[in-house]
Structure formats: C-alpha cells, structure tokens
Structure 1
Amino acid sequence: MGVVKRPRRRISARRLSNFWTCVPSSQLMASNTPQHELAKHIAAGSSSGSPGSLFSHITDNPFFTAGFGLAALGVAARTGQKGLQHGAAFVRRRMLVDLEITRHDDAYPWVLQWMTNYHRAQQAGTRPLVQNGLLSRVLNRIDPRMHHLQVQTFTPQDGPSHAAHFSFVPGPGKHFLRYKNAFILVDRQRERNSLNVKDGVPFETINLTTLYSHRNVFEDIFAEAHQIYQQSQEGKTVIYNSMGTMWQPFGDAKRKRPLDSVVLERGVKERIVEDMEAFIASRKWYLDRGIPYRRGYLLYGPPGTGKSSFIQAVAGHLDFNIAILNVSERGLTDDRLNHLLTKVPRRTVVLLEDVDVAFMNRKTPGPDGFASASVTFSGLLNALDGVASAEERIIFLTTNHVERLDEALIRPGRVDMTVRLGEATEYQMEQLWDRFYAEFDASGEAKQRFMAKVRQLGLIESVSTAALQGLFLYNKDDTEGAISMVEGLTAGHKAESPVGIPGHVDVNEVTSR
C-alpha cells in the first residue's frame, strides 16, 4: 500500500512568537532546547524588520560609525579645500593684478637691469624711502630682500686682462620687492625643457603681482627701467645681427663714432646727411601721398675708402642703430630675408655689405658640397620694395664693383641715392693730416712738405684713405716719419669713369657748389 503523506503545516513567525510569549519567563531562561534558540533568532529577525530598529542596529555598530565619520571628514576637507581655492581665486581676481613679461619682449632686459639696480641700492642703503604719514614709516621698516641671485661676470675694456666685474641679478624664483609702498611679488620662471633652437637659451618669463589698487606702479617701473636702459646706451650704437628670424644685439654697444672722424670729399658727407635728415622729417608727407616711406643708399668704390665707417658715423650722428645682414649667408632664404627686413628694430638702419658677392658663383659648391646661399635675386628685389616689404626703413648697400650689379637692383625706389667713395683726394689728405698732426704742426710747414711729396709721387686719388690713415697711425707723434715713409704707399685703383645711375652723386659736382 502506498503511504499517504500529509502536508506539513507551516507555522507563521507571529504564531510562533505568540506561542513562546505564553511560556513563563522562568522557563525561558532555563530552557536550552534548540527550539528556544530558534525562537530567539526568529524573534530577533521579526523585531529588526522595522526601519527604526535597522537604523538603530547599524548605528550601534562601532566599525560603521568610525568609517562613516572618516568619510564625512574627507568629504568636508575636500569641500573646504575647493572652497578655499575658489575663494582665493575670487580674491585674486578682485584684489590682485598680474603682469607677464616674456624673454622676447624688449622690456625683459630692462626689468632685469632695474631689479639689479634695486638690489644694489638696497644693499648699499641708498634706496629712497617714502616718508608720507605713519603707515609709510611703518612700511619702511619692512624691507623684503631678494634671496635667489644670479651672477654675471664681465671684463672691462679699459682695464687689465685679469680684471673682472661681477653683477648680481635676480635669478629664477620668487622675489618680494617694495616699490613706492607697494609690495610686489616677482616670479622669474625658466622653462628648462623649452630652448631656443638658434641660441640655446631657455625660455623665460617674469611675472609681477601686486594689489589692484597699486597697479599704477607697473607704469612707473617700466618708465624707470626704460630710463636706466637709455642711460646705459647713451652715446653708443647698438649693432644687431640676424639670429634665425630675429635681430639680436651683437656684442656690446659701440661708442658712437664722431661724424667728423670720417673724412670724405668736400660736401659729400653733408649731402648724404642732409638727405637723411630730410627723409626722417618727411614721414607725414610720404604717408599723405601714399608713397612707401623708405629710403635706399648705395655706396660703392674701392676697398678702404670709408664706406662702412661712414655708415657707422652717420648712424651715431642721427642716433640710429645698425642692423647688419649678410645676403650671402648660408641658410638665408627669401622668406627669412623678407621677415628680417620687416622686423627691423626701431631707429635702425639696415646695412647690406658687398651685395655684388651674394649672386656670384651661386652654383659653385663650397668645401662641404653645399651652395653658399639660397637667397634668389627676385627674393632680394621683393624684400626691398615688394608688396610685403617693410616701410619706415633706411637701408644702405655697399659694393666694391658697382658694374656687377643689375640695373633692377639699383633703380630708384630701391636705391634712391648712389655715391662713389674713391681714393683720397688732395682735400682728404690735408684733412687727415690735420686730424693727426695739428698739435705738432701748428704752422703747417710739415703738411706742405708732405703734400709736395705726395704730388711728386702721384699718389693723389691713387691711395685709399685707409692706407693713408695706417701710415699716420704708425707715426702717431712723428711728422717727419710720416713724410719719409710716404714713399711706401703704393698707388691703388684709378678713378672709374662716371657711372650712369639715377640718383648718382657726382663728387666733382658737389665740390664745385
């Protein structure tokens, strides 16, 4: 027979709980039966089913409360940090002002020199203090110092070879200054991973930070720094050289050469100077008529006749600097040439020396198998007066062989005045003698004997002024030595026939005026 299984009757937790509640407490305490343990677990499970009891059970757990407290502290700290950052940024925007100066800006070396002078005056105790009220007297007692310094060593030109001067400039880092009762944070930053591929100099910036209410001190700092720079360059001519696509000062600034130190034929020097002064004063006249505001000069003649010396002297006379560009330089392209001529520093004349050599034997490779230059003739013409050529520019071209120049290069618009500087004339020889021996030959008797011997040897207009000056330099204080050694001068080039170039200045025509 089959066994009939009776279905089990499920007992709900509530009924079981009610059952155990009917048992006296004394029996429950003494009972150790499995049913008793089961009832306890069921009762605990039924009591924890409510939300309040679950939260109470969780909060009573010490591990949970400790972890929750640490998490809350982390969130609060992170929120407070962000709040402080936003608050500091808000205060910085509202109360502080920043100024950035990059290394490529002209004012960068000015500000460094100003800071150097500030540090020097601070060390010597000669920095002026502002005495204007109680607050100023209190601030004067607060004197921040620069602690990150960098040394610059240079040798004076007029001292012994072993002499050296040291100058301390602010190095990379943060510096605190006080200028006119305004506290300034100076942050000089140097990018070690960013270098200029042309000169290997790392990229640098200077950041100035002060209160917004003191922002006007920036203008005062730049004005004072520019004044210091002008004082350091006063009486000097800066020579620029091309460095990549930029102009960089080449060496130390040279002392201005006096205009009368270059002896040319009578009236030639004055004619060129007058033309340049008239051009500089006629900027508005050119612009009103739509004429490109630029001027070109061509100086040609044998070597040693004073072409480069005159350009240096006239630049110093007009308070201009000189930018020298070698057109035959290897690696100089048309684009780079055009860029350089459009980025000429202010009040600077451009000098293109020996332009005839730039386009001779251009296909002949050098010792390393490469051609000497890559500037094309059309590229030079477009750079001088093309559509993209620069204005407000004075350019000088020099050559020893004017006959080798193409007419397209020396036409008006590219070259407006052409002047030949030839061998020493009788006038130039007398002027050079007076410059060297005027104090030793007050009566002029030695000069007459010298000139008579020069005429006898046929050296007039046959010897360069450089050769004649070399003779006088060898006999600085000896007139008789100069007279006796004049025979050693050899006749050079004879004067060429007049050149038919528009704008050509004839020396004989100028002399006869």
Structure 2
Amino acid sequence: MFRAPLPQQAQRSQTTEAGPSTASSLPADGVVSTDGAPLPPAPGASAEGDSLFNRVMADNPYFSAGAGLMGIGVVLTALRRSVTLGATFAQRRMLVTLEIPSKDRSYPWFLEWMAHQTAAQQKGKAKAPGLFGFGQGLRSHELAVETSYKQHENGASEAVFNLVPGPGTHYFKYDGSWFQVKRERDSKLMDLHSGTPWETLTLTTLSTSRNLFSNLLSEARELAEASTEGKTVVYTAWGVEWRPFGKPRRRREMGSVVLAEGQAEEIESDLKGFLGRGKWYADRGIPYRRGYLLHGPPGSGKTSFIQALAGSLNYNICLMNLSERGLTDDKLNHLLGLVPERSFVLLEDIDSAFNRRIQTSEDGYKSSVTFSGLLNALDGVASSEERIIFMTTNHFDRLDPALIRPGRVDIQALLGDAEGEQAKRLFIKFYGNTPSEIEGAVKGRIMREGEVPLSDEEVETMGNEVQAIVEDEKRQGRAVSMASLQGHFIRNGAKESIGGIRELCRPLEQQ
C-alpha cells in the first residue's frame, strides 16, 4: 500500500511526543547530559595523560617552585658564562701582564725597587716623584725581612732590618696606573748552588700602554746602578752564572797604587785604546778581546793595580778560580761567554792552576778544567768576544808558553819590588802636607798627639833619603816590596820609618 507522507507539522508533533529515535538522536559515544544535551566527545588516552599532568603541575607547589628554580639556574649559568667570556675578552684586550723569572737580571732590580718604596714609606716619606717624575705608592701586607749590617767609621757595626714584599700579592700605583704584583715561589724547583727556591714575579696592569713596564724597569735599573755608583762590584762564579760577591767595594783610583814611573799610564793607555774599537776589529776580522799578564813577586801591587784600573774606567771585576771544584771546560767556556757588561775577568795565580800542565793538587784533587780547555776558552772557535782578561802570577817561569803567546796575552808587565823612585813617591804620599785629591787614595797614617807636620822641603829631603836607601839595598842584592813599605809607613812616623827600611829588605832569592 502506498501511504501519503504526513504533513511536516505532523512529523514534528510525532517526534516531540515519541522522542528521538535511538539510532539517530543519541550521540556517537552515547553520553548525554542531565538536561538531555549531548556532551563533547571524550578525549583519548594521550589527552587524558596531558590533562592529568597539567592538573598535577598546577596543583603541586613543589613542582612549580622546582621549575622556577631550574629556570633561574639556567639564566644564572648563562649569565656567568657571559661574564666569564666578557672578563676573558676584557683581560685580553685591556690587561697587560709581564712575567719576570728569578733568573732574569731585572728580577733583583725590581725587588730592590719595591724594597726602596717600602723603606721610604716606613720612614714616612714615600717617594713622590720618581726618576721619571712619576708618583708611586705601595700597598703590601705580606712582607719578608732582609737583614744587613752597616759599618760605622769607628769600626762598630749595626744591624739594619729591611722589610720587603714577600711571596703573595701586592699592589702599587705608578704613573697613574695601578699594578698588581704576584710573587710566587715554587718549592719543587730549587737552585742547587744557592739553595733558594725558584721564584716568579707577575705584574698586571689595566692599561694598553706597554711603555709603563719599560719605564718601570728602567727606573728600577737606575736605582740599582745608583746604589753601586762610585763602587766596584766583584762577581764570582756560581754554577753557570755570575753573582755579586759581598757588597760593592769603594772604587779605588789609579793614584792609590804606586808603580814604576810610567808603567800604570802605559797599561791604562793601551786599554783605553782598545775600548770602543769593536767595529775596527770586526772590519779587519780580528777577534775583539784583550789579554794582560801581570807578573812579579808577592806584594808588588798586581791585584791592587787591577782594582784601581777597574775603578778608573768604571768597570767591575769577575773573579775566576780555575781550581774550583765542579768547574769543567764547558762551564768555563759558558761563564766567559756570559761576563757582565763592563767587567774584567781576573784569573789570579794562574801558575798554581796549571803548573806545567800538572793539574793534581797536594790533597789528590784533580782539577776538572783541562789546560786545552782553558786555551780554547781564551781564543778558541767558541770563545766569546768583547772580553778583557787579566792574569796574575808570582812565578812567570812556571807558565806554559802556549798560555802566554800573542793572541792570548797581548801585554805582559813585570811589577817588581820597590824601586827607589817608587819608594820616594809612596813616602811623599803618606807624609806630604798637600791634601790628596784622589778619592780612595792612601790618606796617610793617623797623626800622633803633639806631632808637628813636616814642611814640603823636609818631606822632599826625607823622600830622597828613602830613595837612596832602597837603591843602595838593591845594589847589594836586597829588595823590599811596596806592600811592606806601605805597612811600615802606616805604623810609624816619618823619621822612625826611615830608620827601619833596611830591616825590611830581604835577599832577592827570598822575595
């Protein structure tokens, strides 16, 4: 049968009365709200886990605080990394660092400069303008002490305690810039010769100008040189380097040593002609070095003359002992190549070290320096240039001809016993009334109480008498050394000394 469709209004009424059909009106998941409205579709398993995690994170304060702390840590780590990189960049770009090892020559200069600043502050007069017109200030809380002794004119000595910056960190201001100084000591590295640990000075400043370091070290060097101005420094060999021996000695002038007429002037003139002619020697292919041999009996003034010559030319002396234990051919050659500038090398009593090439001493010790090693060090292929060597001996006949040939010894000078003219000049120097104009020369003995100074005529007459006595004794085969005469004049007055000169004379074979 065919039914006609119901009217639209009838369909709506029928639907309302009977309710929706189960298949068409229920949602797909079959969930209906209380008011009959369908709920949204339920999430899947993944959505349920995320929702649960979010609710737990939102409801748990510990998780929230931990997340916040983690975020702060990440930020701080990034910030610290940025600061480190920035500091490294600034240090490379803005900080200048200088390292001075204890083996460097400027190391003692700078320590002396710092000690000078500390001493000035202790006395309440910190150094305002330096040698270059710069102002300095030193701040140090880690100090060390250096004890020295000061000799007074009356012979008494006084201990002087100098507080110097010790190992640690120090600060000072120089030319408007602050410097940090770290004095570090490595106890694992030791100097076997001095027994002192290895040290390093590290200077750091916030400045792009490196001239500050040059100026500072130049000032330190000038300060060190000022402390030795007018003095002679004697160096000795310590292992493979030269080090000052004792305190600098007062410079001795040429007039303090009385040699035969014209002898001192001849040697000094030859040495002055050699100095400053390095280019002349180099242009002609001649090694730029000079050797002198002074020989004669003991007390003739060999060593004293070398000291006076060094003082006259503002030179220092490097004293070399060829019989020193541990000295080898290599060390000798190395030391002669590292002689400090403006220094003589002095080989005293060269005959005792190499007596006819016999190098074994009485106690059985055999020198490590060979005769051929000495010859090669003097003028071999590896020998250094710009060097002045003085040798002394009391026994010229014991020297090997190979040692004193030209090229190794350029000038030989005999400094013998006192001649009559020498004795006269020494007498006038002691008892003359004219004040000595030579710094460091023999000033004469201490005048006795009530003693009347001699007139110039009396001194001249008595000097002639001294000359006659010495010449007469020499004709009889007897002589006296200049050292004996000097000691005799110091102890006695003018008239007493004349009477005792003959007693000082000894036969020539006993000199």
Normalising by the residue count of structure 2, what TM-score does the alignment of the two structures yield? 0.79
The answer (yes or no) to whether the contact 2:478–2:505 under 8 Å persists in 1 is: no
Q: CA deviation at 1:456?
A: 4.4
Alignment partner, residue 109 of structure 1: 108
Counterpart in 2 of 1:419? 413
What secondary structure, in the 3-state scheme, does the structure 1 residue paired with 2:223 have?
Answer: helix
Which residue in the other structure is 2:13 paired with? none
Aligned residue identity for 2:128 = P
Q: Residues 276 and 455 of structure 1: is their aligned pair in 2 closer, same or farther, counting only changes over 3 Å?
A: closer
Aligned with 1:155: secondary structure?
Answer: strand
Residue by residue, what CA displacement relative to the aligned partner does 1:483-512 show, whole Å, maximum 9, x if unpaired? Answer: 22223213253699xxxxxxxxxxxxxxxx
If you compute each CA radius of gyration, which structure gives the higher value, 1 or 2? 2
Is there any run of 5+ residues in structure 1 with no aligned partner, and where? Answer: 1-17, 26-42, 131-139, 497-513
The whole-number CA distance in structure 2 between the counterparts of 1:143 and 1:104 is 27
Cα distance, 1:213 vs structure 2: 3.7
**Alignment partners' CA distance in 2, 1:460 and 1:270:** 28
Quick one: which of 478, 483, 491 aligns to 2:506?
A: 491
- One-letter identity of the residue aligned with 2:317: I
Q: Does structure 2 retain, via aligned residues, the 8 Å contact 1:464–1:492?
A: no
Paired residue for 2:99? 100
1:366–1:372 CA contact under 8 A, matched in 2:
no
Flag the 1:210–1:364 CA change in 2: closer, same or farther, 3 A.
Answer: closer
> Is 1:241 aligned to 2:257, yes or no?
no
- The equivalent residue for 1:472 is 489
User: Structure 1 stretch 241-250 or stretch 329-338: which is displaced more?
Assistant: 329-338
Cα-to-partner distance string for 1:429-466 (whole Å, 9 max, x where unaligned):
11111111113442223223333443444478722111
Task: Give aligned pairs, total.
Answer: 447
Task: Tell me whether 1:253 sits opposite 2:242 in the alignment.
Answer: no
Task: Check 1:188–1:460 CA distance in 2 against 1; reply closer, same or farther (3 A cut).
Answer: farther
2:402 paired with 1:408? yes
- Aligned partner (choices 349, 362, 365) of residue 371 of structure 1: 365
The one of 309, 314, 317 equivalent to 1:319 is: 314
Letter in 1 for 2:113: W
Aligned ranges for residues 220-239 of structure 1 at < 5 Å?
A: 220-239=215-234
| CA distances 1:48-81 after superposition (whole Å, capped 9, x unpaired) | 5877458648856777666666666555544443
Q: Which amino acid aligns with 2:491?
A: Y
Is the aligned partner of 1:431 residue 2:430? no
Q: Counterparts of 1:21 and 1:373 in 2: how far apart (Å)?
A: 117
- Residue pair 2:259, 2:415 contacting (<8 A) in 1 also: yes
Letter in 1 for 2:462: A
Out of 44, 47, 54, the residue aligned to residue 45 of structure 2 is 47
C-alpha distance 488-57 of structure 1, shift in aligned 2 (>3 A): farther
- The match for 2:127 is 127
For 1:341, give the aligned amino acid: L
Q: Deviations over 1:306-350 (max 9, x none)?
A: 111111110111111000001111211000000000000001010
Cα–Cα, structure 1 residues 495 and 163, in superposed 2: closer, same or farther, change >3 Å? closer
Give the equivalent residue in structure 1 for 2:375: 381
- What does 1:11-26 align with in structure 2 at a 5 Å threshold? none
Does the Cα contact within 8 Å between 2:100 and 2:201 map onto a contact in 1?
yes
* Percent identity (aligned): 46
| CA distance in 2 between partners of 1:446 and 1:403 (Å) | 37
Q: Which residue, 448, 466, 474 being the options, matches 1:450?
A: 466
Aligned-partner Cα distance in 1 for 2:66–2:382: 72
Shift of 1:467: 1.5
> Do the aligned partners of residues 275 and 365 (structure 1) sit closer, same or farther apart at CA in structure 2, a change above 3 Å counting?
closer
What amino acid maps onto 1:489 in structure 2?
Answer: L
SS at match of 2:392: strand
Q: Distance in 2 between matches of 1:492 and 1:274?
A: 34
Matched, 1:178 2:160: no
CA distance in 2, matches of 1:176, 1:126: 15
Q: What is the letter of the counterpart of residue 154 of structure 1? A: S
1:54 and 1:198, CA in 2 relative to 1: closer, same or farther beyond 3 A?
Answer: farther
Give the deviation of 1:222 after TM superposition: 2.1
Shift of 1:383: 0.4
TM-score between both structures, scaled by the size of structure 1: 0.79
Tell me the alpha carbon deviations over residues 64-100 of structure 1, each in whole angstroms, 9 at most, x when there is no partner: 6666666665555444433322211110111111122
Secondary structure of the corresponding residue to residue 164 of structure 1: strand
**Within 1, Cα distance between the matches of 2:400 and 2:49?**
102
Match of 2:83 in 1: 84
| Cα deviation digits, residues 186-242 of structure 1 (max 9, x gap) | 222222332211101222222222222453322322232222222211110000000
Who is 2:385 aligned against?
391
Deviates more, 1:306-315 or 1:79-88: 79-88
Task: Name the SS for the 2:151 alignment partner.
Answer: coil
The amino acid of 2:486's aligned partner reads: Q
Say if 2:353 and 2:359, in contact at 8 Å, map to a contact too: no
C-alpha separation between the residues in 2 aligned to 1:363 and 1:182?
Answer: 59
Q: Is the 8 A contact 1:424 1:461 kept in 2?
A: no
Distance 1:215 1:83 in 2: 28
> How far 1:286 moved relative to its partner?
0.6
**Cα distance, 1:162–1:363 mapped onto 2, change above 3 Å:** closer
Cα distance change, pair 144–320 in 1 and its aligned pair in 2 (3 A): closer
Whichever residue aligns with residue 448 of structure 1, its letter is: N
CA–CA separation in structure 2 for the residues paired with 1:455 and 1:288: 49
